[in-house]
A = this chain, B = another copy of it.
Amino acid sequence: MTQARYDFASDNTAGACPEALEALIAANSGFTAGYGSDGVTKKAADAVRARLDADVDVRFVASGTAANAIACAALCRPFEAILAHEHAHICTDETGAPGYFGQGLGLIPLPGASGRVDPDALRAAIARPDVSHHQSAAALSITNVTEYGTVYSVDAVRALTDQARAAGMGVHFDGARLANAAAAGFDLKALKTLNLDILVMGGTKAGAPLSEAVVLFNPALSRRFDARLKQAGQLPSKARFLSSPWLGLLKDDALVRRSAHANAMARKLAAGMPFRLNHPVEASAVFVDMDETTLTRLHAKGWFVYRFLDGSVRFMCSWATNAEAVEELLEVLKSLR
C-alpha cells in the first residue's frame, strides 16, 4: 500500500524553507506597530528594493490570487480588459478573482506556444478597434516563469511590454515563480527597465510559509494603495509574519539558490523522463504526454500530479524536492511504460 506523495503535485505542497522559517521565528519576539509599519516589514521592503535595485514601494500580502486581482483592478476599469496568455493563472485558475476584485473587468486571452504570449497575437489584439460594445484592453499581464515552465528572457518581455506601453496600456507582471526565472538567468535588476506598473513577486512557491511581495514600479499607484489593500483584506495587522520570511529568503540570495535547486531537480526529472516532454524544461516544471490510463495508475501508486489545460501532465519541483524522490518517481514512471 503506497502513501500519498504530493512532492510533485505543486510547489505549494512544500513547507517553508529553513531560511524563511527561521526569519519568521526571529521576528516573533516583542511588540511592534501593526499593518506594515513595523521595523521588520520595513527591512524586508528594503531587501526587496535592494534585490531589484529599484526605488519602489513594496507591500507583503497573503495571497497571490488577491495580489494579481488587486493589480488587475488597479490597472483596468470594469469596462476595460486585461490582455493575458490564454492559460495564464488569472485566466484559468483563480475563480474569476480579477473580475471580482475589478467588478467585472474583462480578460482577453492571447495564444502563444508553451505559455509565452505570441508577440504577433498581442499586436493584433492591440490593433483591434476600440468600440463601446466590447471591453477594450487597458493593460497587459505577463507571467514569468510561465504556466508551462518556460522562461521569458528580459528581451522577450520587453518586446511585449514595449508594445503595451506604446499603446498607452499598463503592465502587470505575475511573478509567482519569478525566483525560478531568476535561477534560470532572468536578471531581477532588469525588471526596472521593463516599464512595469505592478509586479507580484512570489514568496510562497519560493519557500515562504505564505507571502507575496507586491512591488509598485509605477509611483502613481502608491497613493492610497494601503487603503486599497485594507479594503481587499490584504493589509495584515501582524504584517511581520508575511514580511519576515523575505529577510531570510533575500539574505545571501537564498531565494534564487533554493529555486536553482528546484530547477535542477526538474532538469534531472526531465533527463530521465520516459514520457515525451510537451514543453521545454527551463525552470522547475516538467510537462509530459501521458494518457489517462497511465495517469490513473500513477495516482494509484500514490503519486499525485495534475493534468493541465493543454492536456499535459505536470510534475512540479520545489526548493524541497530531493534527488531521491526524483529517482523514486522515475522508477515508478518507467514501470508504467
Contacts and interface: CB of A to CB of B under 8 A. Distances in A.
Interface of A: 4-7, 9-10, 12-16, 21, 24-25, 27-35, 62-67, 69, 77-81, 92-106, 130-136, 204, 209-210, 224, 226-238, 240-242, 304, 320
Given A31-B5, A63-B62, A95 B209 contact: no
A33 B229 CA distance: 28
Contact of A15 (B28, B105, B230): B28
B104 A224 contact: no
21 contacts: A4-B33, A5-B31, A6-B32, A9-B34, A12-B237, A16-B28, A28-B209, A62-B62, A80-B227, A93-B133, A96-B104, A96-B105, A97-B104, A97-B231, A99-B103, A99-B106, A100-B231, A104-B104, A130-B224, A132-B224, A136-B227
Contacts of A4: 33
Q: How many copies does the complex hold?
A: 4
Given A34-B12, A63-B236, A100 B94 contact: no
Q: Which 8 A-B pairs have the closest CB atoms?
A: A66-B233, A99-B104, A132-B226, A12-B237, A62-B62, A100-B104, A15-B28, A63-B233
Given A100-B231, A100-B232, A304 B33 contact: yes
Interface of A is mostly: loop
A132 B35 contact: yes
Contacts of A229: 132
Given A104-B104, A136-B227, 15 more contacts: A4-B33, A6-B33, A9-B33, A13-B33, A15-B31, A35-B132, A64-B237, A65-B231, A94-B230, A95-B135, A97-B104, A99-B99, A101-B104, A104-B105, A132-B230
Given A100-B79, A104-B100, A106-B96, A133 B230 contact: yes
A96 B102 CA distance: 12
Contacts of A34: 6, 9-10, 12-13
B31 A21 contact: no
B6 A227 contact: no
Nearest to A208: B238
Contact of A132 (B31, B63, B95): B95
Contact of A233 (B14, B130, B133, B232): B232
Contacts of A15: 27-31, 238, 240
